[in-house]
Structure formats: structure tokens, C-alpha cells
Homo-oligomer: A and B are copies of this chain.
């Protein structure tokens, strides 16, 4: 398991996930604008990982602006925060992370000269917290898995979606650490193929058995009795639904129809329980992500438009449970505990 993102010598260092599974290459940025761009074009993706990237981007901005007088410093930081927040509209971790950094910035009493150290320290703490949270999800989720279980997952909510260890894949990792035999079936997850490229890559890298299926196959595979549990991640949990990668709703419907438990691994930082479905903007991305696979093969005739919604809405009624770092909850229990 390689860390997805680290703070290194006043630079942000991250795996370029657009090149996986073919090449393991690292990007290094010392400009917050480059970090924002890397979130937007998905060099880094996954709700927890982009939360930490956002915090580290804010830290880079403080280095750039720390010599400015306070008022201009705050104005410049606000621009940086707005740019970072604008990159992906659906993931709540992005907002959560920027807000958490902003609390330090806005309460800082004097000249901004030393604020950098405080913000850098906070970003590093957030990275470490992410790992701790994921280990908690792993421990709580592992208790749901039996020796021999096959887990279906959609998209990548693994180590590569976080700083390390993953959310949806954390229970798998933890159960295997406890000595259980667990294997994974990964939906390929069109259009960006995070399941085929990233989930398969990180599990294969860590010698955890994994097979890939087309997104069209999950229903049949469940019907054939090949899946014991489904675990997916999430980008935002409102009081009535889970927002996660497009395709999640179909998997949840198939799990329900086949009486297969469907779990969502949700760090509490993704909980946004004051909101409902109507409050959330579903990110629409460029038609070309569908029409041209990874920018390499055009699959749709010239002149035909594609619709490309990035996230799906899975209503609470389709969930068996939500795994947080604090425990496993039904939707009702979750609302009771956190709302």
C-alpha cells in the first residue's frame, strides 16, 4: 500500500491515478492552482483523498500569501478556497476540508506570517486522521465479513481514494488481517473505470484476490450466487440518501432483489445529514468521458452527444447498513446518532 498523497518538504506529492494501472508515477506541486487542477481532472479522486488534497492545497496557498498584509492575505486565501471548492461540486469532503482549514485562517489574530505552519500542521493531522478513521471503518466492517466471503464493490473506495487503507475496502483489508479469506469482485465503473483500473490495481498489488466485471454484470453475478456482501464508499450522505459514483443505485437495486446485504462505508466527514436529496448538485462531466474511453478509443459516432452524470443517488431504503469509524448503523440509527 503506497500513500496516495503526502506533504513532503513544502510540496504536495500524489500518485497520478490517471496513469494507473499502467504506470505508477508521482506528481509534485508547490502551487495550489495545480492541486485544484489535479482534483478537477482526477489525478487524485475519492472523497477522503480529495479532502486531504484540498487541505494541502490551502496550505500551499498560505505559503504563497503569508507575507501579505492580513486583509489582502484573507482575500487571496478566499480566492484559493473558492477555486479549490469549485473543482468537484458533489463531494462534501472538499467543503469540509476547506472549512476546517478556514477556521484556523479566520481566527488567526495577527499578521499571517506564521499561519503557514499552523495550516500545514492541520493538513498533516487531517491526513493522519484519515488513516485512523479508515482503520476504524475496517475494524467495524470486518465484523460483518465471514471467512470465504466474496465482496462486490463499485468504483474505487480503496487506499487510492484515501490517504491510505481505504473506506469500502477497509473491511476487506481488516478481515484479511484477521486471517479470513476474502475476495473481491470489482465493477469496472464506467466512464472513468476506477474499478478496473484502481481497485483491481491496489488489491492485486497487495495480493488480495480480485476479479473485474463490466458494470452490466453485477445483477447476473448476484443472481448466480457469486456475491456474499456489497460494500461501496460514498461522497456524501444526506438525511435520505447516499451519493456515490454513478452506477451505485443499480448495484443497490440488484443487491436488494437478491437479498444480499448492501453496506456503505462512510467516514463521518462525509455525513451531511442536515441536507436532503434536493440540496445536492449532481456533477455533470464532459460528454467525451463517455464517448472516448480514457481519451484513447472513440466508441460513439461523431455528432452523437453523451450524458455524463458523475454521481448516483441511492435511497436509504436500499441500504442494509452504514459503516462509520464509530460503528455499523441502519439509516435510522445513523440519523439518531449524528443528526
Contact = CB atoms under 8 A, between A and B. Distances in A.
Interface of A: 21-22, 185, 188-191, 193, 196-197, 200-201, 204, 210-221, 223, 245-247, 249-250, 253-254, 257, 282, 290-291, 293-294, 296-309, 311-313
Contact of A250 (B188, B218, B306): B218
B254 A299 contact: no
Q: How many copies does the complex hold?
A: 2
Nearest to A226: B307
A200 to B, nearest CB: 5
Given A201-B301, A214-B308, A293-B297, A253 B193 contact: no
Contacts of A216: 189-191, 215, 245-247, 250, 312
7 contacts: A196-B291, A200-B300, A200-B301, A213-B306, A214-B306, A218-B250, A219-B250
B217 A246 contact: yes
Contacts of A219: 247, 249-250, 253, 312
Contact of A298 (B22, B304, B308): B22
Nearest 10 A/B pairs, CB to CB = A216-B247, A21-B301, A190-B214, A219-B249, A253-B253, A196-B299, A216-B246, A250-B250, A212-B306, A219-B250
